[in-house]
Amino acid sequence: MDSTESQSLLAEMTWQEAELAFDEADFVVLPCGATEQHSTHLPTSVDTIRAKHLTAELADAASEYDLDLLVLPVLPYGYSEHHLNYSGTVSVGADTYQEIIIDIGRSVQRHGATRFLVTNFHAGNIEPHKLALDRLQRDHDLDSYYVHWTDFARERLEERFGSEWGHAGEYETSVIEHYRPELVHAERKTPQTKKNRYEVRQYSHFDDLTVEGGLGDPTQSDPVFLAEVIEETTDDILGHLRSERE
């Protein structure tokens, strides 16, 4: 779907239109990505591209579930300290990032939001997100919801790709091939070289784990299959949101 056709984007509204949109929205949605390395074949914007397009899928299909989603501009930076040894990564500190989420939540609440939904597309953001949403609910009385998109698709992805399809692997390569194929360097797709596998030790940086910067085997990407997963996962998430609203 083309998110530019959506009528639910705050960035395209005047303040008068936004005033009405906040009143009518069932959920005000903050899509969260990151700017970080994704191996040698994908751009640094992978997580932000996923945040933009997969959240747009939710917004554009929301009316089928009698839902109204107001989508905020994508937050293109996240907590990516573990990728900083690779050039192109831009990271926000965990405490700073947590405060950014809280401030955005407080802002939308002031404009009348009753339900705040964070859609997340970068695993490093999860812990700061959860702490921020805890504070928004407990300290600011803002009902807060959380969708780490990959969790809702995980079973389908594991059936097709196994268990090693992580960062810049089969799944993320398939998503970018689906939405922005011109950004994929197909000639550089190669099985990723894993350096270490830690079971109990906390790794310091991602280059402790991998040579190229990714995991899995991006040569096994499948954008046709991924399109089916997107449709199914969109329906699954919207079904949960409708149940929560009711």
pLDDT digits (tens, 9 = 90+) for 40-76: 999 999 999 999 999 999 999 999 999 999 999 999 9
> What ranges do the domains of the chain cover?
7-235
The β-bridge relationship of strands 115-120 and 143-148 is parallel
d(CA 3, CA 223): 19
pLDDT band at 210 (very low <50, low <70, confident <90, very high): very high
Task: For residue 80, give both structure tokens.
Answer: 């990516």
Evaluate if residue 1 carries a pLDDT over 60. Answer: no
φ/ψ (deg, to 5) at 118: -100, 125
d(CA 57, CA 3): 8
d(CA 72, CA 63): 18
In contact, 192 and 218? CB cutoff 8 Å: yes
In contact, 152 and 236? CB cutoff 8 Å: yes
In contact, 10 and 72? CB cutoff 8 Å: yes
Task: For residue 147, give both structure tokens.
Answer: 């969708």
Q: In CATH, which of 3.30.1360.40, 3.40.50.300, 3.40.47.10, 3.40.50.10310 is domain 7-235?
A: 3.40.50.10310
d(CA 56, CA 45): 16
Instruction: Using the structure block, give the residue that is written with the tokens 């993320």.
Output: 172
- The DSSP code for 199 is S
Residues contacting 64, CB < 8 A, separation 6+: 238
pLDDT band at 7 (very low <50, low <70, confident <90, very high): low
pLDDT (tens digit per residue) in 107-135 = 999 999 999 999 999 999 999 999 999 99
pLDDT (tens digit per residue) in 177-206 = 999 999 999 999 999 999 988 888 888 899
d(CA 96, CA 73): 19
Which of 184, 183, 243 is closest to 219 using CA atoms? 184
d(CA 36, CA 31): 16
**3-class secondary-structure state, position 213:** coil
Residues contacting 88, CB < 8 A, separation 6+: 35, 36, 37, 44
